[in-house]
C-alpha cells in the first residue's frame, strides 16, 4: 500500500477511498471539480478523478479563499475523511490547492448540466473521456479485458502477442489494409532487383492483420493452449453501428480438441464467467452504461440458462418456416443476415451456436466433417441484440487434405508445415471484443465502446 501511495505521489484515487477508507483517516486527493455548492457555513465541491462514476464530496469552510476555483478546476485537497449525513464518505479539507484552471466556458463543447447525444459527443473524441458515460464505458472496457486475461491465466492459456503486420489475410476475403512506407525515397533506397518497388521494405506485400489465428496456431503447436487480445483490421466500406475498421479481437486456440461441442462448451462457460466477473467488479459502471444506452438498467438473461446449439440445416429450417418475417431472403452461399441471426436468438430464447456449416461458406482452414466433407466443423455464436459475437472452428490438421483443396491460398507453406511435423488437432474462436461490450451494456453504436474509433471516412487523432 505504501508503495502504491508513493507511485501516486501520496494521493489516493476516489474509487479506493470510497471502497476502503475509514472515517478519521487523513488523506489527499486530486481531481476535477464537477459541481460547487456554497452554503451558509461550508463550500462543497463534487470531485471526480476518473477512477469511479461516484463523486467524492470535499468540504471546506466558507471563509476559505476559493475565488480562483470553478467547475472544471483541477485541485488537490488534503484533510480528514468523515461520514456525511447521507452516509457517504466525504473529505473535510484543511488544504486545497488549484493545480489548473478548468476554463470550461471558453468554447468547451460539453455543458456539465446538459445531456449531449452520442453523435455530438463523438465529434470531440479528445475531450470525451470527461463525459460520465464514456468514462464509465472505458473503465468497463478495462475491467472486461482484465476479466478475460485473469480467466485465461487461471486456465494456463499462454497470451501471445500476435503481429499487427502480416503477410497473410487469414479469412481469405479481400478486406485488408496494405502497409508500406510513406517515404518514396526510402522505398527507392531499399529497392531490390526482383521486388516491386512498393514492396521493397519487407520484400513482400504486407497487411494489417485481420486475425491472429494462424499465428496462434503456430504457437499452439509448441505451447498448447494460447490466446491473444489484439487489434484486428477490416477494410470494409461499412458504416454499420456494429463494425469498425480497427477493433480488438479476443482469439483462443485450444490444443488436442477434436469435438466442436467441446469448443461451444468452452465459449459458453468463458463468456458466462467473464460476464459474472465484470458484474462483480464493475456493477456501478455497467448499470450506468446500460441506463444511458437503453433508458434503464437490465439483468443479463443468458447468464444462468443453458445456451442452444443448432446445426446449420436446423437453423435454415427455422428461417424458412418463418420467411414472411424477414426483409432479407436466405441465400445459400452467404450465411444468415443480421435480422435472421437476431430472429434465431429470439426464437430460441437463448444464445445460439450454429454448427456444421457448408464448407463453401467458410474459410479453407476449417476441418471437414469426415462423414460429409461438404460440411465443416465451424461455429457461429449468435447473441441477443448484436447477432454474431464469435466465429470459430476445428482446424484442418491433415496436411494432405489441405494440399488437396482447390482454393488453397498462396504463401502458406509454413502453415502446412505445422501439420507436416505433427498434425496436432486444434480448434479455436475469435470474439469481437467491442461487440461483447455492446452486448453487456446495450450501447447501440460500437464507436462508443472504444476510445478512438476508426471507421470509413473517419480516423481522427
Ligand atoms: N480465431 C478465430 O477463429 C477467428 C477467425 N479467424 C475470425 O477471424 O473470425
Among candidate residues 51, 75, 108, the one where a domain is terminated: 108
- 238 and 291 in a common domain: yes
Ligand 1 centroid – CA 338 distance (Å): 19
pLDDT digit string (tens) for 29-60?
A: 999 999 999 998 999 999 999 999 998 999 99
Residues 218, 302, single domain; the answer is yes
Residues 352-376 have a mean pLDDT of: 95
Q: How many domains, the chain? A: 2
Average pLDDT of span 181-208:
95
Residue 212 CA: nearest ligand 1 atom is 1
ipTM comes to 0.95
Measured in Å, residue 11 CA sits from the centre of ligand 1 at 44
- Whichever domain contains 47, its CATH number is 2.40.50.140
Mutate which of 152, 176, 213, 357 for ligand 1 pocket (most atoms within 8 A of beta carbon): 213
Q: Whose CA is nearest to atom 4 of ligand 1?
A: 430
Question: Residue 335: its pLDDT value, please?
Answer: 87
Q: Tell me if 297 is assigned to some domain.
A: yes
In a domain, residue 279? The reply is yes
Q: Are residues 103 and 231 in the same domain?
A: no
**Residue 3 reports pLDDT greater than 60:** no
Residue 249 pLDDT > 70: yes
According to DSSP, the residues that pair with 426 across neighbouring strands are 255
Q: Which domain holds residue 170?
A: 132-175+210-448
Please provide the average confidence, as pLDDT, over all residues in the chain. 93
Mean pLDDT (whole number) for 348-371: 96
Q: Which residues of 348-365 are buried (b: 16+ CB within 10 A; e: fewer)?
A: bebbbbbbbbbbeebbbb
Tell me which of 162, 169, 172, 211 to substitute to probe ligand 1's pocket, judged by most ligand atoms within 8 Å of the beta carbon: 211
The verdict on residue 124 lying in a domain is no
Cα-to-centroid distance, 330 and ligand 1 (Å):
23
Q: In this structure, is residue 48 part of a structural domain?
A: yes
pLDDT digits (tens, 9 = 90+) for 205-223: 999 999 999 999 999 999 9
What's the pLDDT at 125? 95
CATH code (residue 380): 3.30.930.10
Domain match, 100 and 140 both? no
Q: Is residue 62 part of a domain?
A: yes
The pLDDT assigned to 118 comes to 92
- Whether residues 136 and 46 fall in one domain: no
* Residue 296 and residue 352 share a domain: yes
Q: What is the distance in A from the centroid of ligand 1 to the CA of 432?
A: 9
User: What is the value of pTM for the model shown?
Assistant: 0.94
**Residue 269: inside a domain, yes or no?**
yes
Asked, for residue 145, whether it belongs to a domain, the answer is yes
Mark whether 43 and 138 lie in a shared domain: no
Claim to verify: residue 93 and residue 224 sit in the same structural domain: no
Mean pLDDT of 21-31: 96
211 C-alpha vs ligand 1 centroid, how far in Å? 6
Q: Spell out which residues line ligand 1, taking CB within 6 angstroms.
A: 170-171, 211, 213, 251, 391-392, 428-430
Q: Are residues 152 and 252 in the same domain?
A: yes
For residue 127, tell me if it sits in a domain. Answer: no
Per-residue pLDDT band for 98 (boundaries 50, 70, 90) equals: very high
- Which of 184, 174, 234, 176 has the alpha carbon at shortest distance from 207? 176
For residues 140 and 27, membership in a common domain is answered with no
User: Residues 98, 138: one domain?
Assistant: no
Amino acid at each position: 500500500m505504501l508503495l502504491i501511495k508513493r507511485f501516486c505521489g501520496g494521493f489516493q484515487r476516489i474509487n479506493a477511498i470510497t471502497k476502503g477508507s475509514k472515517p478519521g483517516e487523513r488523506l489527499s486527493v486530486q481531481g476535477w471539480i464537477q459541481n460547487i455548492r456554497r452554503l451558509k457555513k461550508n463550500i462543497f465541491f463534487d470531485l471526480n478523478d476518473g477512477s469511479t462514476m461516484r463523486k467524492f464530496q470535499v468540504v471546506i469552510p466558507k471563509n476559505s479563499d476559493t475565488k480562483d476555483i470553478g467547475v472544471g478546476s483541477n485541485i488537490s485537497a488534503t484533510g480528514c475523511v468523515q461520514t456525511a449525513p447521507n452516509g457517504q464518505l466525504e473529505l473535510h479539507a484543511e488544504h486545497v490547492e488549484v493545480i489548473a484552471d478548468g476554463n470550461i466556458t471558453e468554447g468547451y463543447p460539453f455543458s456539465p448540466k446538459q445531456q449531449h447525444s452520442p453523435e455530438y459527443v463523438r465529434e470531440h473524441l479528445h475531450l470525451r473521456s470527461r463525459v460520465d458515460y464514456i468514462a464509465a464505458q472505458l473503465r468497463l472496457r478495462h475491467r472486461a479485458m482484465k476479466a478475460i486475461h485473469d480467466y485465461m491465466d487461471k486456465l494456463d492459456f499462454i497470451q501471445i502477442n500476435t503481429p499487427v503486420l502480416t503477410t497473410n489475410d487469414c479469412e481469405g476475403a479481400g478486406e485488408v489494409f496494405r502497409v508500406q512506407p510513406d517515404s518514396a525515397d526510402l522505398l527507392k533506397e531499399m529497392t531490390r532487383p526482383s521486388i516491386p518497388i512498393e514492396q521493397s521494405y519487407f520484400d513482400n506485400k504486407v497487411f494489417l492483420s485481420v486475425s491472429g489465428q494462424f499465428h496462434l496456431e503456430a504457437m499452439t503447436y509448441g505451447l498448447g493452449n494460447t490466446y491473444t487480445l489484439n487489434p484486428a483490421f477490416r477494410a470494409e466500406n461499412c458504416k454499420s453501428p456494429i463494425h469498425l475498421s480497427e477493433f480488438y479481437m479476443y482469439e483462443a486456440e485450444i490444443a488436442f480438441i477434436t469435438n466442436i461441442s467441446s469448443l461451444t462448451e468452452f465459449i459458453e462457460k468463458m463468456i458466462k464467467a467473464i460476464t459474472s466477473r465484470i458484474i462483480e467488479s464493475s456493477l456501478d459502471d455497467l448499470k450506468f452504461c446500460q441506463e444511458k444506452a437503453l433508458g434503464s438498467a437490465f439483468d443479463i438473461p443468458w447468464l444462468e440458462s443453458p445456451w442452444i446449439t443448432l446445426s446449420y440445416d436446423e437453423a435454415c429450417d427455422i428461417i424458412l418456416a418463418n420467411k414472411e418475417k424477414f426483409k432479407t431472403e436466405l441465400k445459400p452461399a452467404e450465411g444468415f443476415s443480421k435480422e435472421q441471426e437476431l430472429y434465431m436468438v429470439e426464437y430460441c430464447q437463448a444464445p445460439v451456436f450454429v454448427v456444421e456449416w457448408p464448407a463453401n461458406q467458410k474459410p479453407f482452414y476449417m476441418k471437414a466433417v469426415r462423414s460429409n466433407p461438404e460440411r465443416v466443423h465451424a461455429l457461429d455464436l449468435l447473441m441477443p441484440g448484436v447477432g454474431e459475437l464469435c466465429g470459430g472452428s476445428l482446424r484442418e490438421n491433415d496436411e494432405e487434405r489441405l494440399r488437396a483443396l482447390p482454393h488453397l491460398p498462396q504463401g502458406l507453406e509454413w502453415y502446412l508445415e505445422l501439420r507436416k511435423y505433427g498434425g496436432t488437432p486444434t480448434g479455436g474462436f475469435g470474439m469481437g471484443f467491442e461487440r461483447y461490450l455492446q452486448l453487456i451494456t446495450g450501447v447501440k453504436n460500437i464507436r462508443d465502446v472504444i476510445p478512438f474509433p476508426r471507421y470509413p471516412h473517419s480516423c481522427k487523432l
